Amino acid sequence: METKIAIVKNLHKDIEYIKEAANIIKNGGTVVFPTETVYGLGSDALNEEAVKKIFKAKGRPQDNPLILHVASKDISSLVEEVPNVAQKLINKFWPGPLTIILNKKDIVPDVTSAKLKSVGIRMPEGEIALKLIEFAETPIAAPSANISGRPSPTDVERCIEDLLGKVDYILGGEKSRVGVESTIVDCTVDPPIVLRPGAITIEDLKRVDNKIELDIGLMKKPTSDFKPKAPGMKYKHYAPKAKVVIVSGNREKTIEKINEMVHYYISHGKKVGVLASKENSMKYKEGQIKVLGSILDLDEVAHNLFESLRSFDDIGVDIIIAEAFEEKGVGIAIMNRLKKAAGYDIIES
């Protein structure tokens, strides 16, 4: 398949690209587009054949539902009802990195929701995404624009790497501001429950409704009979090609342990990468060091996380040793993604 690539540098001057991409969506095709969380791979959410193309391009399991992207806070045509708390969350956090799960109307096809009665919906904040949805005049179903199982792409180059020749159109824009996927809140239950942590933190959500909690299974290694409520959370996700190990513990001990491990692997002929905080990065003696950001700025760490994992693949490291970050605020999302990438392999220093 031929893929057209167009980069939007100036919204005003390059608006024709967005219109062109929107026409592809209208005609049942597939379009990669930027959002503030990660890049998405979209098609008309209400067109079964168009949605099937997404699963095919990504190699995505059929039982993993897609999120609908809308350009308006009025979602009454898509869902049975919007409970009070869901409406409050929408008013406070849309447009932005928050997906709300509600019971769907029949207009949303079963392929889109992977046969679930519910559907996830979000209104992204980026101008390109919003214009694309507006011009397409339909909600756009979009998972992250990566081959299934790989870390989500936060810039257009990574989308081209994964999906060139597999989609109709790649619309590029800025790097994703947030860097990890949206927070998912299931509002089909009362009180609502967080199925995937993201940049809208549990603290942010509790300010709207104090009863909202994180899904208890979220930070633990899933057992073999574990059935997460967000089907996608059970797959080995966010995984670079290299093996990932997390080291946690106090600062001095962590540095010492990581230096020890790096030395061990290198002396056994392995190529080693270290995912480090800015504060500790100068203390590592060997290996390829990538700085994620300061421990005092976890937004920066989230912003760089997936890109760093992918860039280690570029240089072909065999093992990635990552510092643990504090599980607070957006740190919960960072550690959720890191733990998945590591297959829950965490070493106490």
CB of 267 to ligand TXA, least distance (A): 39
The stretches of the chain forming alpha helices (DSSP H) are 15-26, 48-58, 84-93, 110-113, 127-136, 156-163, 202-206, 251-267, 278-281, 298-314, 331-341
Q: Binding residue for ligand TXA (CB under 6 A) from 142, 167, 202, 292?
A: 142
280 binds Mg ion (CB under 5 A): no
Instruction: State which residue has the least CB distance to ligand TXA.
Output: 232
Select from 49, 67, 75 the least CA-distant residue to 113.
67
172 binds ligand TXA (CB under 6 A): no
Secondary structure element (H or E) that encloses residue 43, with its range:
strand 40-44
Q: How many helices (H) and strands (E) does the chain have?
A: 11, 16
142 annotated as belonging to a binding site for a ligand? yes
Interaction pattern, residues 115-154, with Mg ion; x per rule: CB under 5 A: ----------------------------xx----------
Instruction: State which residue has the least CB distance to Mg ion.
Output: 144
Q: How far is CA 62 from CA 50, 148, 160, 238, in A?
A: 14, 11, 23, 18
344 annotated as belonging to a binding site for a ligand? no
66 binds, among Mg ion, ligand TXA, none (CB under 5 to 8 A by kind): ligand TXA
What is the SS3 assignment for 224? coil
38 binds ligand TXA (CB under 6 A): yes
76 annotated as belonging to a binding site for a ligand? no
Sheet holding 213-214, edge to edge: 4-7, 169-172, 31-33, 40-44, 140-141, 67-69, 118-122, 98-103, 183-186, 193-196, 213-214
The encoded tokens of residue 311 equal 């860039």
262 binds, among ligand TXA, Mg ion, none (CB under 5 to 8 A by kind): none
Q: How many residues bind ligand TXA (CB under 6 A)?
A: 28
184 binds ligand TXA (CB under 6 A): yes
Question: What span, in angstroms and rounded, lies between the C-alpha atoms of 282 and 276?
Answer: 9
Residue-level length of the chain: 349
95 binds ligand TXA (CB under 6 A): no
CB of 66 to ligand TXA, least distance (A): 6
Contact footprint for ligand TXA (CB under 6 A): 35, 37-38, 40, 64-67, 97, 99, 101, 113, 116, 118-120, 142-144, 181-182, 184, 195, 229-233
Can you say which residues are annotated as belonging to the binding site? 37, 60, 64, 69, 122, 142, 144, 152, 182, 196, 238
Can you say which residues are annotated as belonging to the binding site for ATP? 60, 64, 144, 152, 196, 238
